[in-house]
Structures are given as structure tokens and as C-alpha cells.
């Protein structure tokens, strides 16, 4: 796992080494083992390396036989051996056994179609001096990040935004549209970021920079194709086989491996499958507040599976002490409190291994979120005409909040497109008007959040409601929240995270499972639970998803109250946020008049991000993770 930076000067001027070196140095945490640079004409490539494959020989940038095509890459290509053998048969000469070099020769052979043949997680840049173009791509689901920006002089592409902020001419400005959507989703949806003028390369897209222009092209898309002709047993067996293959592929490395372990099906399944190939080290984290820790269940699962288990308990004080630096690592605000616990379990794991497997993606692919059961419970409304639904909603909205079933009637009167925004809906449009300033409401050139989801739902026409929800979450929640925090919090500790569920081959099979086999038997991801039964303790098979729960509700009433109040007063966001309303929510929450914790936390993380990146109140230099020599000593 690594960090990459690329710079293209539109004025055909040479790029100074100091500029590209500074952009690379700021992300040393992504690759503490090595660096490398290539400057040619008006471009520069910079690289930070975390050595995983071909440890002794995989130095980047890599080049072809004639030294006129160069590559830097971040990620792992799990089918690189097959591709490498094919390319060697065609006459390509390899300098290394690096998976990234395979992309280089694949590009020489098939051009931009190279990305369609890759199985893995990646973000890379190729400089083709013959054609005077820069080409790169991001993996199918967005496991690895890639950002870009443009100034009058240059176009920059990098693994992290903080590298782009080191480019001459880049301004630190809040994207007001991004802020407006962040308050809905708890992250900024693609392709925007919280910075004006800085964007994400969307997943499953490649970019080309040529003749001073950057263009984006989609090379793959999510498509569900349920096969109603096959029996339940077919999908159970097929799921087991494809996941065992994926876990085996994800074992590829020359350094020690381990796995995260919570108390649910997803991470336990990964550990259960991994131990069929090798002994496993597992890592768990929990809070010191009763009811907000899964450590006991994780411990019992580890004992059942026979792993070498390590765990960590986090207090409110330690959580708060690390929070500013970890928001710096996130690059932009993501108001998921579990992201910070993910940092701590990554820190623990990095003391023992360099690669860790985790269970992200199982819910989106196999239908695991509890909310996916809602279409079943609302089925009685599905055949009503629009006017009837409208009447029900009109009547229900006038009922007192104390009337039982009011929310059920309101949600039932809406289509899935109207009621489901993904796994996070922090502020409604009405409440948002209380949180942002009038200046934002008047001046922001924003779309309604419904417009963002509408475009995605348009691509999901013809699917049933559960599949539409999965499709939306894959395009929003998975990439904007789940994978973002997974990458940034593990790489903050120079730890490579791998996600065997999020694999093109796994999705290809999961996409054929009918909804009747996903939401069934009173539970979610029914096929997956049955397929993994032989690997799991009996008590885990039916456990609901919790992940790494965080007691922010309790902490904001107690430990964090004073800090939160001071942050609200101090942050220079008066032109963006209505502080009086945020203070009102904080006090109402403290007094127990309502649970405003998610809303308050969303605003607080934005304010802290603003202090770090816009006000530059905090100063964080490159975070130096343990050196490779230190890790080797720990591993021994």
C-alpha cells in the first residue's frame, strides 16, 4: 500500500523537485519505507511506499523497457500473476515481480482497456512520454482514494487531499454545496469534496490528461442480475466458494497478515475462512462504557476460531486526545464516530502485522442492513395509487407525535426513492435551514439531496426496492463513508487494509442472488449467513450488525460537553453555521430532552475540520509511522 502524487504543468514548464517532494512527504504515513520520483518535461510523479509485494525489488516509479512509459501505483492487483504470465508470453520484459509493473505492461498492450482486466484495489498514474499523456484510474468500488484539482498552471492528482493542498495556487476554501450535502449524508457525496475546486476521481473511472485537459471515463458499472431459476442451495454453495477464493487471493503478500474482528457475521466470516489457510492474528477494540463494546463477543469468537487475539479498550479521554490529528488524517469531515475506533484498532494491529483483512462490503453486496427489511414491512402500501398514498401522508403528518404508528404511515406513503437516502440521513431539509446561515441558503449553488439520489435511482430502474437500496448504498454510503474511513484510518498507521467481500468476482456472483434469498427467515443477508455457518460460532450466525459502536450520545452529555461548547464558540464558521441552534441542540441533549448526538457530532466534526484545514489552527507534520526495521522486530 502506498501514496501517489502526480503533477502536470499546463504551461509546459518543468516541475520543481521541491514541489513534488513536498506533496509526497505530507503523506509519508501511507508509505514510510521508501520514496521515489520521476520528472520529465512538464510532469512529475511522486511516490511513498509501504512494502508488501516484491519487498526488495518493487521500488517505484517503474518504467518499461524503453523508459518512455512510467507508472506509480497504490493498491494490490490480485490477478497480477496470471496477467504477468500472459504478458511475458507476448514478449514483455519485467524488471520486478511487482503487481504494479503488470499494469504498466498491460497498458502498453491494450491501452486504456487495461483497467478492465484488473482484479483488486488501486489508484495509479501512468506517464506516456511518447503520446504526451497522463493516464490513471481508480478501482471498481473506490477502495483506494484518488483526488484531483486544477489551477491556472497545473493539474494535480493524489491519494490524499493534503498533498494537493501543497500545490502552488491551490486555495483552502469551503465548498458550500459540499457542506450542505454533508449535513444530510455525514460525508460529501462524489464527486465533490468539502474543498472548493478539489474533486474525487469516481470509482470505476479512468482519467486522461492530454493537451492541458483532464477527462474522465467510466469503465465499469454496478449491475444486478437476479437469477430466479436457481435454488437457494445453489447460492449458498456459490457464495461459500467465491468468498473462499477471494480470501485466498487477498492473502497475497510477503509480510505478516491478520484480521479485524468485531462480533458480527462479516468480520467473523473473514477470520473463519482465513484460518482454513493459515494461523490468524485478530484485533478488536471497544469502549469503556457498558453497552458500547463488543469485546466479549469478539473474544469468544476468537477463542472458538483459535486465533491469537489482541484487544484494546478506549476511554473518552484517549478518544478526544487523538481526535484532531485523526480528522487531519481523514482529509475532509466524515462524521462517523466509529472511524476513530477504527484508527485505534489499526494502531494495535500495526504493532503485529502489516496487512489486515476486514469485512466491509458484505452488507451492501449481500443485503445486510436492517433497513433493507423495510420494503417487506411496507408491502401493504406498495400497490396503492399515488393519490391514496398522498392522502395517507397528509393525514399522518397532522397526527400528534405521540400517536403510535405515525412514522410508519408516513414512510409507507412514500416510495423508496422518497424515503431512502442511504444509511445516513442526519438533518432533514427543514432542520438544515436552522443549522446553516441565511447566507448559505441564499448563495449556495446546491442541489437538493434528493437530486443526488435521484440520479442514482434513475440507473436502478427495474430493480425491486431492496436492490434499489443496495444500489444506492454502493454508490454513496460504501464509497463515501465505509471505504473512506477504512483507508484513511488504516493508512494513518501504515497498515494495509484488504476487503475480500469488495471484489469484482464476489459482486458478480452476489448480484445474481434474488432478494427473496437475501431478506428471508426473519433476517438479512440470509444466503451469506447460511454459506458461512460452517466457519462461525452458532451464536454469531444470527447476531445483528453493530461494528465498533461509540458512546457519543453519553460522551456529549458528560465528557465532551465542555469541549463541544468551546469548539462551537471558537470555530470561525459564523458565515456558515448557525451557532445558536447548535448550542440549543447541545443543551437539549445534555438535559435529556432529546437525542441530538448524531446531529451535534456531524456539526462538531465539520468545525474541527475547519479549524485544522481552513483556519490552520493546528499544525500536523508528516506522521512518521514505525520504520520497516521496527515492524520487523515486532514481527519477530
| Active-site pick, 1, 2, 165, 582 | 2
Rounded-to-integer distance, Cα 433 and Cα 581, Å = 10
- Using alpha carbons only, what angle is made at residue 145 by residues 143 and 150, rounded to the nearest 5 degrees? 155
Rounded-to-integer distance, Cα 253 and Cα 328, Å = 29
Rounded-to-integer distance, Cα 468 and Cα 457, Å = 7
- Using alpha carbons only, what angle is made at residue 134 by residues 128 and 136, rounded to the nearest 5 degrees? 110
Q: Comparing C-alpha atoms, which of 186, 159, 173 is closest to residue 480? A: 186
* Residue 152: count of CB within 10 angstroms of its CB: 7
Burial of 404 (0-12, 13-18, 19+ CB in 10 A): exposed
Position of cell 467510466? 218
Distances (CA, A) of 600 to 31, 331, 410, 583, 590: 35, 20, 25, 9, 11
Using left for φ > 0, alpha for ψ between -120 and 50, and beta otherwise, residue 291 falls in left
Cell readout for 92 is 514483455
* Residue 120: count of CB within 10 angstroms of its CB: 22
Using left for φ > 0, alpha for ψ between -120 and 50, and beta otherwise, residue 67 falls in left
Rounded-to-integer distance, Cα 522 and Cα 376, Å = 10
Tell how strand 133-138 and strand 205-210 pair up.
Answer: antiparallel
Is-contact 177 191, C-beta < 8 A? no
Tallying the residues shown for the chain, one arrives at 636
Q: Say whether 91 is catalytic.
A: no
Question: 284 Cβ partners below 8 Å, 6+ apart?
Answer: 260, 261, 262, 294, 295, 298, 299, 302, 309, 310, 311, 312, 345
Rounded-to-integer distance, Cα 384 and Cα 82, Å = 54
- Using alpha carbons only, what angle is made at residue 218 by residues 214 and 219, rounded to the nearest 5 degrees? 120
CA diameter of the chain? 75
* Residue 211: count of CB within 10 angstroms of its CB: 8
Strand partners, 16: none
> How many CA atoms does the CB half-sphere of 389 hold within 13 Å?
19
Question: 447 Cβ partners below 8 Å, 6+ apart?
Answer: 177
Rounded-to-integer distance, Cα 243 and Cα 528, Å = 10
Question: 451 Cβ partners below 8 Å, 6+ apart?
Answer: none
Peptide bond into 61 cis (omega under 30): yes
Cell readout for 236 is 449458498
* Residue 161: count of CB within 10 angstroms of its CB: 23
Is-contact 289 259, C-beta < 8 A? no
Residues marked as catalytic: 2
Amino acid at each position: 500500500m502506498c501514496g501517489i502524487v502526480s503533477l502536470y504543468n499546463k504551461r509546459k514548464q518543468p516541475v520543481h523537485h521541491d514541489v513534488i517532494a513536498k506533496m509526497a512527504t505530507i503523506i509519508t504515513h501511507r508509505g514510510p519505507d521508501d520514496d521515489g520520483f520521476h520528472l520529465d518535461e512538464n510532469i512529475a510523479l511522486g511516490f511513498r511506499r509501504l512494502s508488501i509485494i516484491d519487498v526488495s525489488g518493487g521500488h517505484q516509479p517503474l518504467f518499461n523497457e524503453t523508459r518512455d512509459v512510467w507508472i506509480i501505483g497504490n493498491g494490490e492487483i490480485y490477478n497480477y500473476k496470471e496477467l504477468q504470465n500472459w504478458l511475458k508470453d507476448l514478449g514483455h520484459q519485467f524488471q520486478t515481480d511487482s503487481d504494479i509493473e503488470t499494469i504498466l505492461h498491460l497498458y502498453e498492450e491494450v491501452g486504456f482497456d487495461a483497467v478492465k482486466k484488473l482484479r483488486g484495489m488501486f489508484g495509479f498514474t501512468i506517464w506516456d512520454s511518447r503520446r504526451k499523456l497522463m493516464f490513471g484510474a481508480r478501482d471498481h468500488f473506490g477502495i483506494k482514494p484518488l483526488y484531483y484539482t486544477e489551477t491556472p498552471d497545473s493539474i494535480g492528482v493524489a491519494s490524499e487531499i493534503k498533498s494537493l493542498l501543497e500545490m502552488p495556487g491551490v486555495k483552502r476554501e469551503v465548498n458550500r454545496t459540499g457542506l450542505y450535502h454533508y449535513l444530510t449524508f455525514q460525508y460529501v457525496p462524489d464527486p465533490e469534496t468539502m474543498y472548493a475546486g478539489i474533486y474525487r476521481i469516481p470509482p470505476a473511472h479512468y482519467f486522461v490528461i492530454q493537451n492541458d485537459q483532464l477527462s474522465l471515463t467510466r469503465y465499469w458499472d454496478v449491475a444486478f442480475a437476479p437469477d430466479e431459476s436457481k435454488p437457494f442451495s445453489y447460492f449458498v454453495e456459490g457464495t461459500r466458494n467465491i468468498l473462499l477464493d477471494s480470501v485466498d487471493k487477498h492473502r497475497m503478500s510477503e509480510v505478516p497478515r491478520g484480521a479485524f474482528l468485531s462480533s458480527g457475521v462479516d468480520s467473523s466470516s473473514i477470520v473463519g475462512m482465513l484460518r482454513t489457510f493459515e494461523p490468524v492474528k485478530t484485533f478488536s477494540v471497544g469502549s469503556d462504557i457498558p453497552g458500547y463494546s463488543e469485546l466479549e463477543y469478539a473474544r469468544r469468537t476468537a477463542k472458538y476460531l483459535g486465533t491469537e487475539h489482541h484487544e484494546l479498550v478506549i476511554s473518552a479521554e484517549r478518544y478526544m486526545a487523538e481526535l484532531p490529528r485523526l480528522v487531519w488524517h481523514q482529509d475532509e469531515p466524515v462524521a462517523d464516530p466509529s472511524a476513530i475506533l477504527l484508527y485505534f484498532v489499526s494502531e494495535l494491529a500495526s504493532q503485529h502485522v502489516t496487512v489486515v483483512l476486514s469485512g466491509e462490503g458484505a452488507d451492501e453486496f449481500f443485503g445486510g442492513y436492517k433497513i433493507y427489511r423495510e420494503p417487506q414491512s411496507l408491502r401493504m402500501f406498495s400497490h396503492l395509487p399515488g393519490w391514496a398514498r398522498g392522502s395517507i401522508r397528509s393525514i399522518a403528518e397532522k397526527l400528534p407525535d405521540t400517536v403510535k404508528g405515525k412514522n410508519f404511515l408516513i414512510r409507507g406513503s412514500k416510495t423508496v426513492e422518497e424515503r431512502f437516502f442511504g444509511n445516513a440521513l442526519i438533518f432533514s431539509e427543514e432542520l438544515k435551514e436552522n443549522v446553516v446561515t441565511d447566507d448559505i441558503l441564499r448563495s449556495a449553488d446546491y442541489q437538493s439531496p434528493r437530486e443526488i439520489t435521484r440520479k442514482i435511482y434513475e440507473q436502478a430502474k427495474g430493480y425491486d426496492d431492496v436492490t434499489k437500496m443496495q444500489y444506492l448504498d454502493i454508490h454513496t454510503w460504501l464509497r463515501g463513508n465505509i471505504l473512506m474511513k477504512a483507508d484513511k484510518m488504516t493508512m494513518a498507521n501504515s497498515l494495509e487494509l484488504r476487503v475480500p467481500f469488495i471484489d469484482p468476482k464476489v459482486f458478480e456472483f452476489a448480484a445474481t442472488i434474488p432478494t427473496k434469498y437475501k431478506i428471508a427467515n426473519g433476517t438479512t443477508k440470509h444466503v451469506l449467513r447460511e454459506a458461512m455457518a460452517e466457519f462461525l460460532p452458532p451464536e454469531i450466525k444470527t447476531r445483528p450488525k453493530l461494528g465498533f459502536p461509540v458512546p457519543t450520545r453519553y460522551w456529549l452529555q458528560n465528557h465532551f460537553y465542555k469541549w463541544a461548547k468551546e469548539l462551537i464558540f471558537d470555530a470561525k464558521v459564523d458565515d456558515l453555521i448557525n451557532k445558536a441552534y447548535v448550542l440549543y441542540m447541545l443543551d437539549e441533549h445534555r438535559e435529556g430532552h432529546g437525542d441530538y448526538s448524531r446531529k451535534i457530532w456531524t456539526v462538531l466534526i465539520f468545525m474541527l475540520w475547519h479549524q485544522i484545514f481552513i483556519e490552520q489552527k493546528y499544525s500536523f507534520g508528516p506522521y512518521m509511522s514505525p520504520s520497516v526495521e521496527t515492524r520487523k522486530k515486532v514481527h519477530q
